[in-house]
A and B are shown apart, each in its own frame.
Chain A
């Protein structure tokens, strides 16, 4: 009983991965000025995007000090924060973006280990 749905789920996921592989990514990175954490986050995410989403991503880096009015709408608390606006679902990443694996899983670019 359990085998069938699992394999169909796996198929669905594989299909999804194909869809995602063509999708355009809209990413926003909010940083608090130029701090070591900020620059580290910018470097890390740019590298991930270049490696995995070349040509189909839109990454904007926003300084929260410059645009404090945006924070309320975006519900930013921590810095740095990366928001994946598209494709849905919306997802947030906080920190210096150094956990590459977590980011890739979060961006639906890699399946989780146990899946």
Chain B
């Protein structure tokens, strides 16, 4: 925006040889309002704040003055037409504004303008110069930079000559501009116009509409900038709350899908669950949904995560919509998670509210505020299903989207728990937000052999090779653990059935081992026997060979002898 107008003014400068600077703004100091107005109210010009009764007009105006004094050292004038100085001071004292002190320091001037129709007789032409002089005198006496007229419409009730009034109002706003004061004018919401007497006709620079709506018996405050001449501004309806710190507006709709992404991992607090997520846990700054039926251990998983986060010295906020902090701490103590110590060290903060206490938007603003104040690295919301009680599914989804966007932007890891109705399809989360989640852990009960056991599996986890295994989830006095389930013969065994099966397995293993040893022994014996036989045969073979050789020798001798004899015989016979 700023760039655009600078460029614009530069071209203007070239063309007209005259500098037109961008619209200067007067910061209100009200949390969030300066963001959606991109800097504040138009400096030195009037702004109209309108809305129905009780929507916080006077408060916003008073905060503008009060913060102007305390934060920007700009004195202010408050001209009240409805409440006296005393009443005003009392009303805002609970919000930490000390008007009396400001008045004493000559930083604030309050003038209560009393108009009583019945006391006034109109006898000819008049103007409102008295009002001008009063206002001018106050502005000059303290050097005011900010002025509030609350609510100037009271003049319409006091004077009957509307033509004079309208002319005078026009003159008043022109005069305020020449005084170079930034002015807030409040106006009651009218039926056809933004204000009952059409004040928007005179204040054309900036108009802010406050709204206080009641849906399903829950009130929600909203703020919208109807127009802002010469400036870009947020156009949505922004949720607003009034609490002990005054008014705050949540500029949440300005968030988008532009958050930073981290490769950093953050442990889940349950060792084997870390293993299921590739050994390291969740990605930092992602959203985790833990859903399951009643009593399946959702809160325990969330608390284990909170415990681990604090153990590492990081901060965590636990938003609980069902249980009180004390109850959570006691219950988690029973499974070996001591959250008390972290709260004592200021690392853990509990915030327990009933969802029906205020509207969704107000919850959103409160969450936003707490996160801004506490700077946690992890946030737990337990359970989000209860929020569905105060809004339509679409609204809840939109609210959670905003929360997720906001927390992701801040690189905060968030664990949401969600209750699934028993018997229903477990792969369907109650508020239809599963698609918004980066990681989804599903818990369920398995009822067999007269007992219920908890099962856990990771349905999805974006960006990592997570385990596809079903694990048994065991809560004991020593903490939260995961165990393998027994899978075989078309059934998953858990709890004591698993134990039985495991001991059976062990016995089987032992007997297997024994029989294998026996078999080996037998084989070894056989081996040895055969070896012996082989030796004996070898000896036998050697004997035989010897025998054979001896007999061959004898034969050869015998033949030789016989041959010799024949020779001798023939010699004797003198044969030819």
Residues of A within 8 A of B (CB): 30, 32, 37, 40-41, 64-65, 68-69, 71-72, 75-81, 90-99, 102-103, 106
Q: CB-CB < 8 A to A98: which residues of B?
A: 123-125
Q: Which A residues touch B126, using CB under 8 A? A: 37, 78-81, 94-96
The contact of A78 among B114, B119, B130, by CB within 8 Å, is B130
Closest to A75 in B: B114
User: Of all chain B residues, which has the CB nearest A30?
Assistant: B130
27 of the cross-chain contacts (CB-CB < 8 Å) are: A30-B130, A37-B125, A40-B125, A65-B133, A69-B137, A72-B134, A75-B113, A76-B134, A77-B128, A77-B155, A78-B126, A78-B128, A78-B131, A78-B159, A79-B127, A79-B128, A79-B130, A93-B123, A94-B159, A95-B125, A96-B123, A97-B124, A98-B124, A99-B123, A102-B122, A103-B121, A106-B121
Residues of the B chain whose Cβ atoms lie less than 8 Å from the Cβ of A75: 113-115
CB neighbours of B38 from chain A (8 A): none
- List the B side residues contacting A102 at CB < 8 Å: 121-123
Give B residues with C-beta under 8 Å from A.
Answer: 111, 113-115, 119-131, 133-134, 136-137, 155, 158-159
- Distance, CA A74 to CA B122, complexed state (A): 17
Bound state CA distance, A99 and B161, in angstroms?
15
CA distance A37 to B126 in the complex (A): 7
Residues of A within 8 A of B120 (CB): 92-94
Residues of A within 8 A of B130 (CB): 30, 32, 64, 71, 76-79, 81
With both beta carbons as reference points, the residue of chain B lying nearest to A38 in the complex is identified as B129
Tell me how far the C-beta of B486 lies from the nearest C-beta in chain A, rounded to whole angstroms: 87
Interface centre among B113, B121, B122, B159, by most A CB within 10 Å?
B121
Cα(A17)–Cα(B276), bound, Å: 100
Q: How far is the CA of A102 from the CA of B160 in the complex (A)?
A: 15
Residues of A within 8 A of B113 (CB): 75, 77
Flag if A79 contacts B123 (CB, 8 Å).
Answer: no
Contacts of B128 in A (CB 8 A): 77-79
Chain B residues with CB under 8 Å of A76's CB are: 130, 134
CB-CB nearest in chain B for A97: B123
Contact A79 to B134, CB < 8 A, known contacts A97-B123, A98-B124: no
Shortest CB distance B144–A (Å): 15
Q: Which of A40, A78, A96 contacts B129 (CB 8 A)?
A: A78
Instruction: Tell me if B129 and A94 are in contact (CB < 8 A).
Output: no
Do residues A71 and B137 form an inter-chain contact, with CB atoms below 8 A?
yes
B123 touches A77 (CB 8 A): no
Contact indicator A79/B124 (Cβ below 8 Å)? no
Complex Cα distance A3/B61, Å?
A: 56
Q: From residue B114, how far is it (CB to closest CB) to chain A in Å?
A: 5
> A44: shortest Cβ distance to chain B, in Å?
8
Nearest Cβ on chain A to B2's Cβ, whole angstroms:
40
Q: Are A71 and B123 in contact (CB under 8 A)?
A: no
Partner of A77, one of B122, B124, B136, B158: B158
CB-nearest residue of chain A to B168: A78
**A-B contact sample (17 more), CB < 8 A, given A68-B134, A103-B121:** A37-B126, A40-B124, A68-B136, A71-B137, A75-B114, A78-B128, A78-B129, A78-B159, A81-B126, A91-B121, A92-B119, A92-B120, A93-B121, A93-B122, A96-B124, A97-B123, A98-B123
Contacts of B125 in A (CB 8 A): 37, 40, 95-96, 98
Provide the residues of chain B in CB contact with A92, threshold 8 Å.
Answer: 119-121
Specify which chain A residues have a CB less than 8 angstroms from the CB of B131 in the assembled complex. Answer: 77-78
- Rounded to whole Å, the gap between the CB of A75 and the closest CB of chain B is 5
Neighbouring A residues of B136 by C-beta, 8 Å: 68
B127: A residues at CB distance < 8 A = 32, 37, 78-79
The answer to whether B133 and A32 have CB atoms under 8 Å apart is yes
CB closest chain-A residue, reference B140: A68
Chain A positions within 8 Å of B129 at CB level: 32, 64, 78-79
Query: Hey, which chain A residues are within 8 Å of B137, CB to CB?
Result: 68-69, 71
The CA-CA distance from A93 to B159 in the complex, in Å, is 12
| Minimum CB distance partner of A63 in chain B | B133
Partner of A94, one of B123, B134, B155: B123
Complex CA–CA separation, A80 to B128 (angstroms): 9
Q: Which 7 A-B pairs have the closest CB atoms?
A: A95-B124, A96-B124, A98-B124, A32-B129, A76-B130, A79-B129, A68-B137
Task: Out of A30, A64, A91, name the residue touching B119 (CB < 8 Å).
Answer: A91
Closest A residue, CB atoms, query B115: A77
CA distance A39 to B130 in the complex (A): 16
Check B121–A72 contact: CB distance below 8 A: no
A90 contacts across to B, CB distance below 8 A: 119
Q: Which of A37, A71, A96, A97 contacts B134 (CB 8 A)?
A: A71
Q: Report if A71-B121 is in contact (Cβ < 8 Å); known contacts: A78-B128, A96-B126.
A: no
Across-interface contacts of A68 in B (CB, < 8 A): 133-134, 136-137
A32: which B residues are within 8 A, CB to CB?
A: 127, 129-130, 133
B31 CB to nearest chain A CB (Å): 34
